[in-house]
Amino acid sequence: MSPDTLFSGVRIVADGVDLIGDLLVRDGRIADFGPALGRPDGAILVSEPDAVLCPGLVDMRAALGEPGYEYRETIASASQAAAAGGITTLAALPDTMPVIDDPALVRLLRARGEETGSLTILPYGAITRACKGEELAELGLLQEAGAIAFTDGGRAVGSARVMRLALSYARGFGAWIAQHPEDPSLANGGAATESLYSSRLGIPGIPAAAEAMLIARDIRLVRLTGGSVHFAHVSTAEALDLIRQAKNDGLSVTCDTAPPYFDLNETAIGEFRTYAKLSPPLRKDSDRVAVVAGLADGTIDAIASDHQPRDADDKRLPFAQAAPGGVGLATLLGVTLAHVHNGEIGLAAAIALLTARPAKRLGIDAGRIAKGAPADLCLFHPDRIWKVESGLLPGKAQNTPFDGRALEGVVLGTWKSGRRVFSRS
């Protein structure tokens, strides 16, 4: 039996918790927390002045290279990057090779997560076979095998008929659908947000309206079916207005965003900087400001890493041909904290967006500080500065859109079920 661990004199922040004090871990769970608990005999003492202790981060949208794209990322390398970023639970996208449309693959990914000892992997099942958007996968069997929800990953379900069937079928067994909100017919062939900026660079554009159009359609389908939809990496003001209204109308509609969409704008692509080619593409600054407002007012339910590992050869191409995507596990907390430091969002609200709120949407026991809760924990110093440098990030893939950025907020340690799985040297 492992010894107890006592975190002493730290700021403990979680949904509904914000205090200076101690937290005791025993047998993989939180035994107690509060001011001045006292150190049990033989307990490991963790004392970091001015540090913040929060639940391990819950990342509700990340791509893993494995199976099929191990040259980009493996489960082992992703788990190392996640631990370094304070992430202890990760929902993995199904658009691998083969696609996660088979119950055996769902069980395999869950088991591979357990094998890491540091990361719980919650696989999404594919909505459609091979993520082709044509024929529904066996959603019920995938859920029985452990699929957390259903999505076609980076591909939108473009057919209204197929999306209607998916929402109806998933509703029958209490499941929900996550959509990549981008009208495929408008996005096809595009590489950046359609604007004067992309026109000046000669980059084929994707109109920002492509996002709102698909969201408007799917909200209508939720009204029709009584189903439940979650919109991933929302990035435009118009889309957020639609989601805000749907929530006010009592519909089962939620959404997340990712750090690039509240921290960067379209100018980050610079002179054809492919590390900043993402899907959806970076938007105008007015949209970035609207995403910040959506975080502050509660319209956005979670901040996800939207981790999309790419090999160097995927990016060393002309901008229009380069693969979209950026890594985000190691920078998830730091970029979010940048907007705490500038006063746009409070620390407790930011932590909730990274922990309790995604855990609630996923329906899992994670992301909370409470007696008896799993001791999945992240300890970080909110004011220490570090620089994001491609080539030096934890994990295999290095395609970060934040390359060269200085961030305040350093993860000092990560614990999974009470066991320390990351320590900053």
Q: Per-residue pLDDT averaged across 215-243, rounded? A: 98
pLDDT tens profile 278-336: 999 999 999 999 999 999 999 999 999 999 999 999 999 999 999 999 999 999 999 99
pLDDT band at 271 (very low <50, low <70, confident <90, very high): confident
Looking at residue 1, what is its pLDDT?
67
Looking at residue 282, what is its pLDDT?
98
Q: Which residue, 362, 385, 406, sits at the end of a domain?
A: 362
Classify residue 370: in a domain, yes or no: no
On whether both 210 and 172 belong to a single domain, the answer is yes
Looking at residue 38, what is its pLDDT?
87
Residue-range definition of the domain harbouring residue 313: 59-362
On whether both 295 and 216 belong to a single domain, the answer is yes
Classify residue 367: in a domain, yes or no: no
**Residue 25 belongs to a domain with what CATH number?**
2.30.40.10
**Residue 227 belongs to a domain with what CATH number?**
3.20.20.140
On whether both 43 and 191 belong to a single domain, the answer is no
Looking at residue 379, what is its pLDDT?
98
How far is Cα 408 from Cα 387, in angstroms, rounded to an integer?
9
Classify residue 81: in a domain, yes or no: yes
On whether both 46 and 63 belong to a single domain, the answer is no
On whether both 16 and 101 belong to a single domain, the answer is no
On whether both 277 and 350 belong to a single domain, the answer is yes
Classify residue 42: in a domain, yes or no: yes
Strand 192-193 vs strand 205-206: parallel, antiparallel, or unpaired?
A: parallel
pLDDT band at 425 (very low <50, low <70, confident <90, very high): confident
Classify residue 237: in a domain, yes or no: yes
On whether both 84 and 39 belong to a single domain, the answer is no
On whether both 408 and 334 belong to a single domain, the answer is no
Q: Which residue, 362, 389, 408, sits at the end of a domain?
A: 362
Could you tell me which residues come within 8 angstroms of residue 178 by beta carbon, excluding any fewer than 6 positions away? 61, 124, 149, 150, 151, 229, 230, 231, 232
Cα atoms found within 13 Å of the Cα of residue 253, Cβ hemisphere only: 27
Nearest CA to 357 among 168, 220, 230, 180?
230
On whether both 150 and 103 belong to a single domain, the answer is yes
pLDDT at 70 > cutoff 90: yes
Query: 278: which DSSP letter?
Result: -
Classify residue 88: in a domain, yes or no: yes
List active site positions.
306
Classify residue 369: in a domain, yes or no: no
On whether both 157 and 259 belong to a single domain, the answer is yes
pLDDT tens profile 132-158: 999 999 999 999 999 999 999 999 999
Number of domains in the chain: 2
Classify residue 368: in a domain, yes or no: no
Reading the block at residue 193, the tokens are: 């947000």
Q: Which residue, 362, 397, 415, sits at the end of a domain?
A: 362
Got the DSSP string for 384-410?
EEEE--TTSSSSS----TTTT-EEEEE
On whether both 28 and 73 belong to a single domain, the answer is no
Judge whether 81 and 46 are in contact, CB under 8 Å.
no
On whether both 128 and 189 belong to a single domain, the answer is yes
Burial code (b: 16+ CB inside 10 Å, e: under 16) for 364-388 equals bebbbbeeebbbbbbbbbbebebeb
- Report the percent of the chain where pLDDT is more than 70: 100
